[in-house]
Amino acid sequence: MSDLLQFTTEAVIADYDRLREDCGLVDLPHLGLLAFEGDDRKGWLQGQVTNNLRNFDTGASTAFCFCEPTGHTISVLDVWSLPMRMVATLAASTIPAVILRTQQMVIMEDVTAVDLSKTYRLLSVQGPRATSQLGALLTLPKLDAATAEFEGAEVYVLRSNRTGMGGWDVWVPGAKRKALSALKESFTAVSAAAYDVARLEAGVPIYGQDMTQKNWPPEMGNAFSSRHISHNKGCYTGQEVLMRMHSRGQSARQWVGLVAKSPLTIGDTVIHSRKGDVGTVTSAGFSPDYGHIAAAIVKTDAAFEREIVNVRTQSGTVEAEVRLMPILRLE
Compute the Cα dihedral for 203, 209, 215, 217 and give only its sign: positive
Say what the pLDDT of residue 114 is: 98
pLDDT digits (tens, 9 = 90+) for 117-172: 999 999 999 999 999 999 999 999 999 999 999 999 999 999 999 999 999 999 99
- Report the 3 state secondary structure along 107-119: CCCCCEEEECCCC
pTM for this model (two decimals): 0.95
E strand spans, the chain: 24-26, 31-37, 61-67, 73-81, 85-91, 112-115, 120-126, 145-150, 153-160, 167-173, 253-260, 269-272, 276-287, 291-299, 308-313, 316-323
| CA 120/CA 175 separation, integer angstroms | 8
Alpha carbons within 13 angstroms on the beta-carbon side of residue 240 total 4
- Report DSSP letters for 240-295, one per residue: HHHHHHHHHT--SEEEEEEEESS---TTPEEEETTTEEEEEEEEEEEETTTEEEEE
Say what the pLDDT of residue 161 is: 98
> Order of strands across the sheet with 31-37?
61-67, 73-81, 85-91, 31-37, 112-115
Arithmetic mean of pLDDT over the chain: 95
| CA 91/CA 115 separation, integer angstroms | 12
Q: What share of the chain is helix, strand, coil (3-state, %, to 5)?
A: 25, 35, 40
Say what the pLDDT of residue 329 is: 85
Identify the burial level of 106 via C-beta atoms within 10 angstroms of its C-beta, where 0-12 means exposed, 13-18 middle and 19 or more buried.
middle
Say what the pLDDT of residue 2 is: 37
Calculate mean pLDDT across residues 186-193. Answer: 96
pLDDT digits (tens, 9 = 90+) for 4-50: 344 458 889 999 999 999 999 999 999 999 999 999 999 999 999 99
> What is the DSSP secondary structure assignment for residue 320, as one 8-state letter?
E
**Going from the N-terminus, what domains does the chain have, and what CATH number goes with each?**
3-198 (3.30.1360.120), 252-325 (2.40.30.110)
| CA 320/CA 64 separation, integer angstroms | 31
